[in-house]
Each structure stands twice: as structure tokens, then as C-alpha cells.
Amino acid sequence: MAMTSAVYASAAADANDLKTDMDKVSYTLGTQIARQIAASLKAEDIEVNIDMFVRGIREALTGKQSPLSPEERDWVMKVWQEQHSAKLKARQEEAARLRQKQKEEAMAKLGKENEWKLKLTKPELMKFDASKDYFWILETNKGTIRIKLMPDVAPMHVTSTIILTNKGFYDGTTFHRVLADFVAQGGDPLGTGEGGPGYQYAGEISPNVKHDRPFLLSMANAGPNTDGSQFFITFKPTPWLDGRHTIFGEVVEGQDTVKKLEAAAGPPPLGKPTEELKILKARIEEKAKG
């Protein structure tokens, strides 16, 4: 979205202009609506002349007759819609070509010998020994992270993680997305954020387990019923993730290693790390409680 203006660029609101409650309410409503409009224009990549745009809104609100005839308005908008649709289509096609190229490059990097990681079937739910604790050990190129799993909270998530780990699924994978003050995300054999084990399953959301502290292990997803192999470790409390992502473990050793991952955080929104962050070996450890 692009907006140009010679009139409104320096026209900032002055508190002295807001003399009455009606002034304040009107101004607040106007800014709220304007932000929604601006977000819509940006999402659709629509360019406008802000002076004419604001004038059109003002005249429509006051009931002033348009200087354009209905026929002229229809013709102008028809031409614009055709041009805008063509631009969006070209952009979407280019984005699709880029995604396909990235997928081909990721598949080549994965190698034929590892394509099995994309073609697995959902495992049967494990029976867990209540007298044992289960730990997920991630040996990374930045150090070792020891995570206590939560089979009592998310049995399917722990089952899948244990089965995949014992197959060697996570060995050689990377943390492909790292955002400072947020998370380190990994578990994609393609390393692009679009890969998974070949199966998906539902979240196991517990209202009593919340993203209220750092160093939690939670499952990434693309919406309901899309949990797979991609996980993330939090760097801070992330309460906005509650109800959307399943917590199934917590880092109990190696917090310093997690901080090293965060030190390589990339710029948002993709968060591509500034250096490779690799899981060299993942393993499961069972230990008697107490």
C-alpha cells in the first residue's frame, strides 16, 4: 500500500482540538476505523492518493454529490479492478514459483535417503509407566537441552515425539525459525517450516498448563488438527498462545543452550537464524521418579 499527501502529512491531532467528549469519541472512532481501512488496503496492496481518499470519505459522510457520473465511476473502477487483479495474479504466480523452487531445493538438501521422514503414519498411543519420567535430550551444535516430557498432559504429543525420536527423525534437523523474545522453532525435516512427518493430529490443550514462563516445549501448528513434528521452545511467557498450542514438556537442563539459540535470532516475521542451529542427535531417556 502506498499513500501520498501534501496536506495531511504534517496534520497531527492537537489535544487542544479535542474540547468535548463528543470530539474525543469522534476522533477515537475515526482513528479506529482508519486503522482498519489502512490494514485492508495494505493486505490487498492497494495504492491510493490519501488526499482524494479522505475527501471521498468526507463527502460521502456529509451526503455531498460525487463530481463523477455513475457511468464514469463504473468505468474507472472496472479498469482499476482489472489492472489490480492482474497485478495480484502475477504476484501470486511468482510467489508460487518461489515456493516450488524452495521446496525442490529443500528436497534436494534432505536427500533420497531421508525422504522417509515425510511419509510416516500416525503411531498408536503409547502406554506410559506412571513410575517413570520421560526426558527428551536434544544434542545441538550449541549444547545439550534436556526436556522433561508431559505424558499426563499431552499423551499423543509425547507418543509421537518418542516414536519419531527413536526412528532418528529429528537427527540432523535444524531450528529454522528463531525470534528474539519469542521462540526457537524446529522439527521440520525440510527446514522450511512447511514439512512434517506425513501425519497430523489434534491438539491436547490443558486449561491448567499455560504458556506462563520461558523454557516450555510446545507444538507448532497451522490451525486445529494440524499438529505434527514441528515444535518450539519459548524464551519468555507467551500467554497469547494459550488455547492454540499444546504444551508437552519443559526444559530442565540446558537453559543456557536455549539462550544461545536466541542469540542467533533472525528478523521477523520469518526469523531465519543468523547461523545454522542444528540438532545433531535426539534421544529419549526414561528414569524412575524420585
The cell for 48 is 491510493
Spatial separation of the C-alpha atoms in residues 176 and 100, rounded to whole Å: 18
pLDDT digits (tens, 9 = 90+) for 62-109: 999 999 999 999 999 999 999 999 999 999 999 999 989 988 999 999
pLDDT digits (tens, 9 = 90+) for 140-156: 999 999 999 999 999 99
| pLDDT over 90 percentage in the chain | 87
- Residue 52 has φ and ψ, to the nearest 5°, of -70, -35
| Domain range summary for the chain, segments of one domain joined by + | 3-61, 121-288
Q: Judging by DSSP bridges, how do beta strands 143-149 and 174-179 pair with one another? A: unpaired
Spatial separation of the C-alpha atoms in residues 196 and 121, rounded to whole Å: 11
The cell for 213 is 514462563
What is the SS3 assignment for 225? coil
Known catalytic residue at 221: yes
Identified catalytic residue from 221, 230, 231, 261: 221
Known catalytic residue at 135: no
- The pLDDT score that the predictor gives to residue 16 is 75
Identified catalytic residue from 182, 215, 235, 248: 182
The DSSP string of 67-121 is SS-HHHHHHHHHHHHHHHHHHHHHHHHHHHHHHHHHHHHHHHHH-GGGGGGGS--
What is the SS3 assignment for 250? strand
pTM for this entry: 0.73
pLDDT band at 9 (very low <50, low <70, confident <90, very high): very low
Known catalytic residue at 245: yes
Decide if 183 contacts 233 (C-beta within 8 A): yes
> Residue 55: what residue type?
R
CATH tag for 121-288 (out of 3.90.180.10, 1.10.1530.10, 2.40.100.10, 1.10.1040.10): 2.40.100.10
In sequence order, which residues have a C-beta less than 8 Å from that of residue 165 and are 6 or more positions away? 136, 282, 283, 284
pLDDT digits (tens, 9 = 90+) for 178-216: 999 999 999 999 999 999 999 999 999 999 999 999 999
